[in-house]
Amino acid sequence: MGIGSDFWEDSWVREGVLKDIFPRLFALSSKHTLSIDCFMDTQVFLHNWDFGFRRNLNERETAEVIKLLETLEGIRLCASKRDRRRWDLEDSGSFTCKSFQSFLRNKGRAETFPPFSLVWKAKSPPKVKVFVWLVALGKVNTSDLVQRKRPFMYLSPQWCVLCKLCEESVDHLFLHCPFSLSLWWLLWREVGTVWVILKGCSDFLCSDFVVWGLGKLTSTLWGCLVHSVFWIIWMERNRRIFEDYKGVRLSDLWDRVKYWAAFWASVTKDFKDYSYSTIMRDMAAAVK
């Protein structure tokens, strides 16, 4: 093992791709595109790793190197053989359509991401659906994620521009921030239900809430409202960061949430007999 496989960018350890697991160390390494065998320094000790860091490491980075070495513990290289790809679903190691089809039939459905329905079946625009999907996956570029992607930039992830109290993360920004929570409380009051603050956005999008009752109209408008809250929070956050915007009253922001939710719902066949202004004025009446 080691000849022909990229150390940082190939998936050759059980935990995944090393570049994604240790982004700070990847940024510090001078060997971004070299194969695994180029990281071995056999002149000192057998199987001694040389990561080619550009500078001396600080305490936090040293701790990450220790974790990296633990990940690599037990790995032995055979310099006389080139690496080859192996398909784990077949004993032979070769890919077959039959094995992949069997995997999809037996496991694929069980591993489907839970928030699929509330994300993709909502009647919001495609770009909003994609955005909410990224929220569910925790892939939106909040400060903490940008810091992990670009560790050499040394951003300050402790700053949430909406509340100025906590570190900005996906779950904090969209769910736990006092400012965002105020919007969610207005939504619960609108739909006539109560809720308990959940651990994260993924849990929220997996939950079944009883709002207004059952029916196609309720399902359509509820999905639009949830997507609208996520979208408006993100737009407000970006305006404050990139446009030096001082913010707006919560009531005005809630009007924007209702406007976009009503507008998206009004262009669906479920609400073909309603204008967006009618829906926005009395949502509970519109779904009856």
**Apex 163 CA angle, 196 and 201, nearest 5:** 40
Q: What is the pLDDT of residues 178-204, one digit of tens each?
A: 999 999 999 999 988 878 888 889 888
User: According to the model, what pLDDT value does residue 113 have?
Assistant: 54
**What's the CA gap between 238 and 233, in Å, rounded?**
9
Using the predicted structure, report yes or no on whether residue 109 has a pLDDT greater than 60: no
Q: How confident is the model at residue 252 (pLDDT cuts 50, 70, 90)?
A: very high
- What mean pLDDT do residues 254-267 have? 96
Q: What is the pLDDT of residues 49-107, one digit of tens each?
A: 888 898 888 888 898 899 998 888 877 666 666 667 777 788 888 888 888 778 777 76
- What pLDDT does residue 110 have? 44
Mean pLDDT of the chain: 84
- Higher-pLDDT residue of 229 and 69 is 229
Per the CB < 8 A criterion, the answer to whether 5 and 36 are in contact is yes
pTM of the full structure: 0.64
- Of residues 81 and 254, more confidence is placed in 254
Confidence of residue 244 (pLDDT cuts 50, 70, 90): confident
